[in-house]
Amino acid sequence: MILTQIDIRGLRNLREASLSPAPGFNLITGANGAGKSSVLEAIHCLSVGHSFRTRKVRELITRGEDEFTLACQMLDVASEQTHRSGLRRHRDGTTELRLDYEEIRSIAPITQILPVKALTPDSHALIQDGPSGRRSFIDWGTFHVEQGFFDAWKVYRRALSQRNQSLKDNAPDSEVNSWDEQLVSAGTQLDAFRRNYTVSLQSTLTELLRSMETVFHVELSYRSGWSDGIDMAEALAKSFQNCRRFRTTTVGPHRAELQISTDGVLARQILSRGQQKLLVYAMHLAQLILLHTITNKPAIVLCDDLPSELDREQSGKILGQIAQLNSQVFLTSTEPQSLENTPIEMFSIAGGELRKGV
Ligand X SMILES: Nc1ncnc2c1ncn2[C@@H]1O[C@H](COP(=O)(O)OP(=O)(O)O)[C@@H](O)[C@H]1O
Return residues touching ligand X (CB under 6 A): 12-13, 30, 32-38, 59, 61-63
User: How far apart (Å, rounded) are the C-alpha atoms in residues 78 and 71?
Assistant: 22
Q: How far is the CB of 309 from Mg ion (least distance, A)?
A: 12
User: How far apart (Å, rounded) are the C-alpha atoms in residues 258 and 225?
Assistant: 10
- Which residues, other chains included, contact 345 with Cβ-Cβ below 8 Å and sequence gap of 6+? 21, 22, 24, 25, 26, 27, 356
What's the half-sphere exposure (Cβ side, CA atoms, 13 Å) at 222? 23
287 binds, among ligand X, Mg ion, none (CB under 5 to 8 A by kind): none
User: How far apart (Å, rounded) are the C-alpha atoms in residues 11 and 209?
Assistant: 37
User: In sequence order, what DSSP letters do the residues of 40-53 get, joined into one string?
Assistant: HHHHHHHHHSS-SS
DSSP three-state, residue 116 = strand
**DSSP single-letter state for residue 216:** -
* Closer to ligand X by Cβ: residue 63 or 105: 63
* Closer to ligand X by Cβ: residue 29 or 262: 29
* Closer to ligand X by Cβ: residue 34 or 271: 34
* Closer to ligand X by Cβ: residue 32 or 241: 32
Spell out a b/e string for 280-302, using b for 16 or more CB atoms within 10 Å of the CB, else e.
bbbbbbbbbbbbbeeeebbbbbb
Which part of the chain contacts Mg ion (CB under 5 A), choosing from 30-38, 85-93, 204-212, 277-285?
A: 30-38
Q: How far is the CB of 331 from Mg ion (least distance, A)?
A: 11
Give the amino acid at 18. Answer: S
Neighbours of 345 (CB within 10 A): 18
User: How far apart (Å, rounded) are the C-alpha atoms in residues 177 and 244?
Assistant: 12
What's the half-sphere exposure (Cβ side, CA atoms, 13 Å) at 289? 22
Q: Is the dihedral of CA 99, 101, 106, 109 positive or negative?
A: negative
Q: Are strands 67-76 and 25-29 parallel, antiparallel or unpaired?
A: unpaired
Q: How far is the CB of 114 from ligand X (least distance, A)?
A: 21
105 binds, among Mg ion, ligand X, none (CB under 5 to 8 A by kind): none
Which part of the chain contacts Mg ion (CB under 5 A), choosing from 28-36, 199-207, 231-239, 291-299?
A: 28-36
* Closer to ligand X by Cβ: residue 59 or 129: 59
* Closer to Mg ion by Cβ: residue 74 or 302: 302
Q: How far is the CB of 241 from Mg ion (least distance, A)?
A: 48
User: How far apart (Å, rounded) are the C-alpha atoms in residues 358 and 349?
Assistant: 9
32 binds, among ligand X, Mg ion, none (CB under 5 to 8 A by kind): ligand X
34 binds, among Mg ion, ligand X, none (CB under 5 to 8 A by kind): ligand X
Q: How far is the CB of 135 from ligand X (least distance, A)?
A: 26
Residue span 34-53 as binding mask against Mg ion, x where in contact by CB under 5 A, dash where not? --xx----------------
Query: Footprint of Mg ion on residues 202-221 (CB under 5 A)?
Result: none
* Closer to ligand X by Cβ: residue 14 or 260: 14
* Closer to Mg ion by Cβ: residue 37 or 142: 37
Q: Mark out the alpha helices in 17-145 (DSSP H runs).
A: 36-48, 57-60, 108-113, 125-128, 131-145
Which part of the chain contacts Mg ion (CB under 5 A), choosing from 20-28, 29-37, 204-212, 216-224?
A: 29-37
33 binds, among ligand X, Mg ion, none (CB under 5 to 8 A by kind): ligand X
* Closer to Mg ion by Cβ: residue 286 or 303: 303
Q: How far is the CB of 63 from Mg ion (least distance, A)?
A: 18
Q: How far is the CB of 38 from ligand X (least distance, A)?
A: 3
Q: How far is the CB of 62 from ligand X (least distance, A)?
A: 4
User: How far apart (Å, rounded) are the C-alpha atoms in residues 183 and 49?
Assistant: 26
Residues near Mg ion (CB under 5 A) are: 36-37
